[in-house]
């Protein structure tokens, strides 16, 4: 099992390597791929050093699986080339997510849709992933009509430059800026670019991706995505309106049994999910579970996950694990 990691030196690529190692992924050969300026340098994986190679070299090595985290334009250009070489590509960018011919996969929700013919598979947006892991078991039981979500997203979702901006501001150092405004001691209701209807692309991603992953366009979703000065994970305040009424104890029971979900919901003892607790964890954490008394059959939840792991790297590796388990590669 030969595995290429494209974008191996980036923020998500580095975490992909870490997750592959931690989960003891059954690879026989690792092929780290990065930009031309990194070719020839080495990365360490399981105590061994591996040279970083170019895209062309990686394709010629015909890996079984390529985990991509190198940006949309790179994916659009090179994923089809890997596909032609017989490689199954799992892509973390937004390039392929809304292509009707490409599967958009969260393993706990819709991995069963994958077949051996799916040679390019899209990894969803980090905020969407953690939300649908919680929504799916509730939708199966009560049928969701509408979701209102507000996100509180870590600077790590933007990348290394954003982390440096936050740390520099905290130290009083003037440096490169990832955001139009200061992020320390501030909140930016703006992730990705604004579109004509006043929503950002991040908000539109959450809406469209949720419908695609859940295979149900009848679910109405509206989103407000916000960047906050934290590290470790994204948080979401989620309001769900159902077709059918629910019992709170049953909701908790469903979520406690749901794959990939950990319930942290004991307000009497001040127990609820926080980004610092989700940091470097693969699960999705849910708490503040309570009925919305302003409308019938509605529920409020607080959802937290590490955006670099379950929101990106771990989800991609889990897809790869599923492909191997089902002999689809």
Residues classed as catalytic: 126, 234
To the question of whether residue 307 is assigned a binding role by annotation, the answer is yes
To the question of whether residue 23 is assigned a binding role by annotation, the answer is no
**What backbone torsions phi and psi does residue 283 show, to the nearest 5 degrees?**
-90, 170
To the question of whether residue 227 is assigned a binding role by annotation, the answer is yes
Please give the Cα distance from 254 to 270 (Å, whole number).
Answer: 22
Enumerate the β-bridge partners of residue 311: none
H-state helical runs in the chain: 11-22, 55-60, 72-84, 107-110, 126-142, 160-171, 201-214, 248-257, 275-278, 314-325
Enumerate the β-bridge partners of residue 9: none
Please give the Cα distance from 188 to 70 (Å, whole number).
Answer: 25
To the question of whether residue 49 is assigned a binding role by annotation, the answer is no
To the question of whether residue 9 is assigned a binding role by annotation, the answer is yes
H-state helical runs in 23-95: 55-60, 72-84
To the question of whether residue 290 is assigned a binding role by annotation, the answer is no
How many of the other CB atoms lie within 10 Å of CB of 133? Answer: 26
The count of residues in the chain is: 329
Q: Which helix (H) or strand (E) holds 241?
A: strand 234-242
To the question of whether residue 11 is assigned a binding role by annotation, the answer is yes
**Residues making up the binding site for substrate:** 153, 227
**Residues making up the binding site for NADP(+):** 9-12, 37-38, 307
**Residues making up the binding site for phosphate:** 97
**Residues making up the binding site:** 9-12, 37-38, 97, 153, 227, 307
């Amino acid at each position: 099992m030969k595995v290429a990691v494209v974008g191996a030196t980036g923020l998500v690529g580095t975490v992909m390597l870490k997750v592959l190692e931690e989960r003891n992924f059954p690879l026989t050969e690792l092929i780290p791929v990065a930009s031309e300026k990194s070719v020839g340098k080495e990365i360490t994986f399981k105590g061994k050093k591996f040279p970083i190679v170019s895209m062309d070299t990686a394709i010629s090595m015909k890996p079984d699986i390529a985990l991509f985290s190198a940006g949309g334009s790179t994916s659009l250009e090179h994923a089809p080339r890997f596909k032609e070489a017989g490689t199954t590509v799992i892509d973390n960018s937004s390039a392929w997510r809304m292509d009707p011919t490409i599967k958009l996969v969260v393993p706990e929700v819709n991995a069963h849709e994958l077949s051996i013919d799916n040679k390019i598979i899209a990894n969803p947006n980090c905020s969407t992933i953690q939300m649908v892991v919680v929504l799916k078991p509730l939708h199966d039981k009560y049928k969701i009509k509408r979701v209102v979500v507000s996100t509180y997203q870590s600077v790590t979702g933007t990348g290394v430059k954003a982390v440096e901006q936050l740390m520099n501001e905290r130290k009083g150092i003037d440096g490169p800026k990832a955001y139009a405004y200061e992020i320390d001691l501030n909140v930016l209701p703006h992730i990705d670019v604004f579109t004509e209807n006043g929503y950002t692309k991040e908000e539109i991603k959450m809406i469209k991706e949720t419908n695609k992953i859940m295979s149900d366009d009848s679910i109405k979703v509206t989103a407000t995505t916000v960047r906050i000065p934290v590290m470790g994970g994204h948080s979401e305040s989620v309001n769900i309106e159902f077709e059918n009424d629910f019992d709170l104890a049953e909701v908790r029971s469903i979520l406690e049994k749901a794959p990939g979900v950990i319930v942290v919901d004991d307000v009497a003892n001040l127990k609820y999910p926080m980004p610092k607790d989700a940091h470097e964890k693969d699960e999705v954490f849910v708490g503040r579970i309570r009925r919305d008394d302003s409308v019938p059959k509605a529920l409020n939840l607080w959802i937290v996950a590490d955006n670099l792991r379950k929101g990106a790297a771990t989800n991609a590796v889990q897809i790869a694990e599923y492909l191997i388990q089902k002999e689809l590669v």
